[in-house]
Structure 1
Amino acid sequence: MKSQQQSNYTNESITSLKGADRVRLRPGVIFGSDGLDGCEHAVFEILSNSIDEAREGYGNKIEIVRYKDHSIMIKDYGRGIPVDYNSKEDRFNWELVFCELYAGGKYQNNTGENYEFSLGLNGLGTCATQYASEYMDAVIYRDGICHSLHFEKGENIGGLMKEGAEKHPSGTQIKWRPDRDVFTDINIPLSYFQDILKKQAVVNAGLTFELFDEESGEKFVYCYENGIKDYLLELSGTDNLTDVYYLQTETKGRDREDKPEYKLKFETAFCFNNQINVLEYYHNSSFLEYGGSPDKAVKNAFVFAIDKYLKGNNLYKKDEKKITFTDIEDSLILVINSFSTVTSYENQTKKSITNKFIQEAMTDFFREQLEIYFIENKIEAEKIAAQVLANKRSRETAEKTRISIRKKLTGSLDMNNRVEKFVNCRTKDINRREIYIVEGDSALGACKLGRDAEFQAIIPIRGKILNCLKADYNKIFANDIITDLLKVLGCGVEIKTKHTSDLNSFDLSQLRWSKIILCTDADVDGFQIRTLLLTMLYRLVPTLIHEKKVYIAESPLYEITNGKQTYFAYSDSEKGEILGNLKGKTKISRSKGLGENQPEMMWETTMNPETRRLVLVTPDDARHTQEMFELLLGENLAGRKEFIAEEGYKYLDLTDIS
């Protein structure tokens, strides 16, 4: 058997992919993915070429059309791709551009010829996108002639067509439809085009991008006359801690002594802001999602410069730890727009660069310029220092809280981690287990005697719990009632602040109950306790409400006795309906508090799945729910007064006013 296998593996077994198959059968190698991400990257490759032309001074507008059938058109007003015969290569240029993976006019860019700072350096884009297309039509206006090419699934059909077009402006128009045989998804959303074109407008000052979406019929125009300066002003709004500061420079260097020297130029704009933090890096117009060299330079230089200022002005407390970049980033808005004649991308998708010289040059430049900035802008330097220290101390407090909360909320409910007065149920079947959160010890006694101990557990609330919309997290998690409740629920918490993302330990699969049932008295105090419980759940574990795990147990308002029969009414209208159907002498009594009820009544009215009434708590309108919680229990005192003045009369019968 072994010798048979060996005989099948011969010199002729080694094959190579040729032509379009180099891309069509392995799109992930070129585009980073055979899914939607890869399809989007193919669009960017074509767009890059038009941007390079405009940046060299040829054309100031690029038009893009997103068609209903998922095809795309990109048109520029540059010089037009050279497509005629190339005697040097002994081939037509259109064959090199559209059918050769490593061909193009950008390989000598370090000499300044054709493209000094190019976004599409690698010579893969146009050809790779053509190979990955169901069809591609290229129309090139150059030297007073219209040149046309048509491709289908990587193959040229009909050769190069020419006709006169003396008055038509030069430029290149490429229309194509990504091939479903290559990509698993070609339905590129409108949002991708909007995002990428806005980013390109930011880093190519004065260049206009016009996008037409055939599907919606809408047109979008993106242009920033002053590039990143205008963008920083747009991002920061009017709440800046400091003014926008702009810097630019040019230099030369090499990544290694034996490597060629190359040019680097970059501009940056930054400011500090209490509400917003943004870091964006662009290199040769490509958005660097992961940054790489510029990101490392910014982190190094800003920490160095601000730490030096804090030490020099004795602003650290005794034995206080040094700041980290997180403390700076929390209040920093910064954009770097850089260009180099030699670029080392981490991979073909251009999301990070690795040039050693770029990192070193930017680090040195920022260190020097920040030191000058702090000397020349004393008031702003003081503001930055105070804000960074505030961020640092907030982060450190959050870290202490994180450690404390994890200790409190993790672990099983055993003898070493018990919750006072919690009464568990017997079953381990999560789909049957119910937890009743009841008001007070007396209600605990009544519910404990009236429940089905097989699947119903109980935990009492001792008095009114903290208003979780008004309190900060430290105060919330110092409250034993709240931490006991969270411990019993078992699913962790959902935290939504920038310093406590690692507190976000929520895991729905760890929830120990199928139903969480709030059970309080049918009076003003009971309603307030219920509202505070809902507020706690809304702020700390909102997913439980979205997943329909939270219920309210309705308590009857009236007990009506007619002979040997007893009826329970949950509203005045229901009381009237019951009385209308009864004959003879009846006795009506207002329902007592839960703790005063007999176990049999508790079972029948509140705990028996066959007869009880549960109200499901649902976020039908999450925004409205949030607004109402914050209006009634938050810091908006003026809004609350206005609401009470306008709506309060409806609830007078529920008050204790005599």
Structure 2
Amino acid sequence: MNETEKDIQIADNNYREENIVTLEWQEHIRRRPGMYIGKLGDGSSYDDGIYVLLKEVLDNAIDEFMMGYGKTIEVTIENGSVAVRDHGRGVPLGKVKDVCSKMNTGAKYDSKAFKKSVGLNGVGIKAVNALSSSFAMECFREGQMKAVEFVQGVLSNDREIVPTTSPNGTYVSFTPDVEIFGEYHYRDEHIEPLLKNYVFLNIGLTIVFNDKKFSSKNGLEDLLNENLTSEELYPIIHLFGEDIEVAITHTNQYGEEYYSFVNGQHTTQGGTHLAAFREATARVIKEFYNRNFEYSDIRNGMVAAISIKVEEPVFESQTKTKLGSKEMTPNGISVSKHINDFLKKELDNYLHKNADTVEVLQKKILDSEKERKAIAGVTKLARERAKKANLHNKKLRDCRIHYNDAKGDDRDKTCIFITEGDSASGSITKSRDPNLQAVFSLRGKPLNCFGLTKKIVYENEEFNLLQAALNIEENMDGLRYNKVIIATDADTDGMHIRLLLLTFFLQFFPDLIKKGHVYILQTPLFRVRNKKKTLYCYTEEERLSAIEELGPNPEITRFKGLGEISPDEFRNFIGEDIRLDRVTMRKEDLLKELLEFYMGKNTPERQSFIIENLVVEEDEVA
């Protein structure tokens, strides 16, 4: 008997009745949290699990508003603990404990109670309960109140029903469990956009977050105005219909930018409804002008939002970031047909009534067409060159798993490091995870593409190969890496290369930044060590702290460039403890002005910015 056969026989002998284990509901969630809330995270990213917990509670409150109950929701977050108070109907008092702790229990299976809600499977609030060190729900209904309390999903207090003067509604409080999430912090910059989206999608709703009020009078029009970073070419087209709302405009930025929602849920990965919207919008505009426009020319520069309400939506995961539904209602009206019929009527009517918009939109389409035709020959040659390079691309050391075709946690972990020089790319390549981490090596400083047309992306070999490596020429759907990480030295040259790359992305692929895919890699500036311990320091403060911790006369090394860090050491900086700064754009960051400042002709101001944002090298003394 060989070793493999022995292993199989041992496994067979160990597979007995006592190996079959039934977990309590909360234990299953705690062992497999990713199934319910996606990745865990520490709060530094908008899609970390602690925000999913908040969203699950808010979704229930929003569903009450959508059914016509309660116009205000109060959210309080303090010292890592969350409290949400809605003014809906309140959970029926006899079912409060079950709603918190019995799987597949909820009112949303009954379409009479919740016709078009987000939470349909009765799991969300249970996941919040199970993944919290403490959880409580108080329900107020017709002058009576019922409260229950849990610790890590286990009931700790089941209070009697008592009289109350509080108005109807539900109060949920919870503290995410550090045993699950580790050290975490709720960050306002991730919470406030979430709350703003809720009010944009629910005109008449007010959310009060730590005494700060959010509300919207104009729905998706307000949402676009909040997110536009380039000037609109014509007033936002804002259309309403039964269970559908859209807002559309064009800007002079390249590419397309969309915000899609189903039953108030932000479907960041799109799905059936967004695909239908993109196609139907282009088709209606093409038919209106009765010209043989390319869809890509019509959509170039488009910024739009769509919100639909669907009965019993089918999402592709518990975190509900992509709609998979084909049907809209039990009578068989498809999502695609509903969106197409709505736009065919309403968008066409709008264009017939608004001659100024028609004129501006036609000019934008013709400009896009003119540019596309002008570079048609260049793009064909560039694509052929990129295709050949992909077979043996020395600039790209690819990974095996990619964002556009993977699922689960691996999908989110996919990344590409963009670095400069053979030594730096060599260190990263030798220390990376070849399954999930790719490396793209630049040759010197890339071209300053500020003010240039997209023709330069195809004429410049490095830009063309980078575009091909990311697979974003047509749109974001094919993006091959979740994180596009700029890894440059912490000196003036490194900062300049960083700005040149950011200019490239901002100029031609702004949605890559807006969707949160671009990062800056932090690498340590100092290594402080003695014979017993080694500490890596990213700031001067960390260096001083390390010196204090290790005692007198430690060895201090200043890393002047990425190439000076050995592959063995680099593994510590691009693994689980990787430090990344996400590149973000705010409402006030108008793209044109931003690029003008960083990469225009104002050389003195740019030099000052680079110098002021560098970490000044200190003398290597204790």
Whether TM exceeds 0.5 here: the answer is: yes
Assess if the C-alpha contact under 8 Å between 1:395 and 1:499 holds in 2.
no
Assess if the C-alpha contact under 8 Å between 1:98 and 1:127 holds in 2.
yes
Q: Matched residues in 2 for 1:128 and 1:467: separation? A: 49
Of 270, 276, 287, the match for 1:308: 287
Counterpart position of 2:367: 390
Q: Which moved more, 1:3-12 or 1:399-408?
A: 399-408
Assess if the C-alpha contact under 8 Å between 2:83 and 2:173 holds in 1.
yes
Corresponding position: 1:130 with 2:140 = no
Assess if the C-alpha contact under 8 Å between 1:229 and 1:246 holds in 2.
yes
Of 243, 249, 255, the match for 2:241: 249
Provide, for residues 578-625 of structure 1, a one-character-per-residue CA deviation record: whole Å limited to 9, x for no partner.
xxxxxxxxxxxxxxxxxxxxxxxxxxxxxxxxxxxxxxxxxxxxx999
Assess if the C-alpha contact under 8 Å between 1:62 and 1:209 holds in 2.
yes
Counterpart position of 1:567: none
State the AA in 1 paired with 2:281: F
Counterpart position of 2:272: 293
Of 181, 184, 194, the match for 1:183: 181
Provide, for residues 122-167 of structure 1, a one-character-per-residue CA deviation record: whole Å limited to 9, x for no partner.
21111121111101122222221232211101111132244332x3
Counterpart position of 2:37: 31
Assess if the C-alpha contact under 8 Å between 2:96 and 2:146 holds in 1.
no
Of 329, 347, 354, the match for 1:377: 354
State the AA in 1 paired with 2:270: G
**Greater RCO (CA < 8 Å, at least 6 residues apart):** 2
Q: Which moved more, 1:153-162 or 1:177-186?
A: 177-186
Counterpart position of 1:205: 203
Q: Identity of aligned pairs, percent?
A: 22
State the AA in 2 paired with 1:289: T
State the AA in 2 paired with 1:155: V
Structure 1 397/500 Cα, relative in aligned 2: closer, same or farther at 3 Å?
farther
Q: Matched residues in 2 for 1:397 and 1:375: separation? A: 31
Aligned length: 442
Assess if the C-alpha contact under 8 Å between 1:239 and 1:275 holds in 2.
no
State the AA in 2 paired with 1:332: M
Provide, for residues 502-541 of structure 1, a one-character-per-residue CA deviation record: whole Å limited to 9, x for no partner.
9xxx999999xx999xxxxxxxxxxxxxxxxx99997579
State the AA in 2 paired with 1:81: V
Q: Matched residues in 1 for 2:53 and 2:127: separation? A: 8
Assess if the C-alpha contact under 8 Å between 1:71 and 1:177 holds in 2.
yes
Counterpart position of 2:101: 99
What is the TM-score with the length of structure 2 in the denominator? 0.60
Provide, for residues 424-479 of structure 1, a one-character-per-residue CA deviation record: whole Å limited to 9, x for no partner.
xxxxx9669xxxxxxxxxxxxxxxxxxxxxxxxxx9xxxxxx9986766758998x
Q: Matched residues in 2 for 1:469 and 1:278: separation? A: 20
Counterpart position of 1:119: 118
Counterpart position of 1:42: 53
Shift of 1:270: 2.2
Q: Matches of residues 581-620 of structure 1 in structure 2 within 5 Å?
A: none
Shift of 1:64: 0.8
State the AA in 2 paired with 1:39: I
Q: Matches of residues 189-268 of structure 1 in structure 2 within 5 Å?
A: 189-212=187-210, 219-234=211-226, 239-250=231-242, 265-268=243-246
Counterpart position of 1:343: 313
Give SS of 1:175's match: strand
Structure 1 297/170 Cα, relative in aligned 2: closer, same or farther at 3 Å?
same
State the AA in 1 paired with 2:250: F
Q: Matched residues in 2 for 1:280 and 1:27: separation? A: 27
Shift of 1:267: 1.9
State the AA in 2 paired with 1:245: I
State the AA in 2 paired with 1:178: P
State the AA in 2 paired with 1:10: R
Provide, for residues 68-124 of structure 1, a one-character-per-residue CA deviation record: whole Å limited to 9, x for no partner.
2x111111112222232xxxxxxxx12320111211111111xxx222221222211
Corresponding position: 1:78 with 2:88 = yes
Q: Matched residues in 2 for 1:476 and 1:143: separation? A: 65
Assess if the C-alpha contact under 8 Å between 1:207 and 1:223 holds in 2.
yes
Shift of 1:329: 3.2
Q: Matched residues in 2 for 1:268 and 1:515: separation? A: 45
Counterpart position of 1:174: 172
Q: Matched residues in 1 for 2:247 and 2:117: separation? A: 22
Give SS of 2:218's match: coil
Assess if the C-alpha contact under 8 Å between 2:146 and 2:162 holds in 1.
yes
Counterpart position of 1:597: none
Assess if the C-alpha contact under 8 Å between 1:491 and 1:508 holds in 2.
no
Q: Matched residues in 1 for 2:53 and 2:497: separation? A: 48
What is the TM-score with the length of structure 1 in the denominator? 0.57
Give SS of 1:373's match: helix
Provide, for residues 231-251 of structure 1, a one-character-per-residue CA deviation record: whole Å limited to 9, x for no partner.
34555699543333333333x
Give SS of 1:349's match: coil
Give SS of 1:181's match: helix
Of 31, 49, 54, the match for 2:65: 54
State the AA in 2 paired with 1:364: D
Q: Matched residues in 1 for 2:53 and 2:457: separation? A: 50
Q: Matched residues in 1 for 2:485 and 2:36: separation? A: 38
Shift of 1:401: 4.6
Counterpart position of 2:303: 333
**Structure with the greater alpha carbon radius of gyration:** 1
Counterpart position of 1:550: none
Of 294, 302, 311, the match for 1:323: 294
Of 320, 323, 331, the match for 1:353: 323
Shift of 1:402: 5.5
Structure 1 492/182 Cα, relative in aligned 2: closer, same or farther at 3 Å?
closer
Give SS of 1:281's match: strand
Counterpart position of 1:269: 247
Q: Matched residues in 2 for 1:129 and 1:80: separation? A: 18
Assess if the C-alpha contact under 8 Å between 2:73 and 2:207 holds in 1.
yes
Shift of 1:41: 1.2
Shift of 1:48: 0.6
Corresponding position: 1:630 with 2:608 = no
Give SS of 2:178's match: coil
Structure 1 300/143 Cα, relative in aligned 2: closer, same or farther at 3 Å?
same
State the AA in 2 paired with 1:221: K
Q: Matched residues in 1 for 2:228 and 2:597: separation? A: 26
Give SS of 1:46's match: helix
Shift of 1:328: 3.1
Assess if the C-alpha contact under 8 Å between 1:140 and 1:147 holds in 2.
yes
State the AA in 2 paired with 1:76: D
Structure 1 unpaired stretches of 5+: 85-92, 213-218, 251-264, 317-321, 413-428, 433-458, 460-465, 517-533, 548-622, 637-658
State the AA in 1 paired with 2:114: Y
Structure 1 35/408 Cα, relative in aligned 2: closer, same or farther at 3 Å?
closer
Q: Matched residues in 2 for 1:541 and 1:125: separation? A: 38
Structure 1 54/628 Cα, relative in aligned 2: closer, same or farther at 3 Å?
closer
Structure 1 77/398 Cα, relative in aligned 2: closer, same or farther at 3 Å?
farther
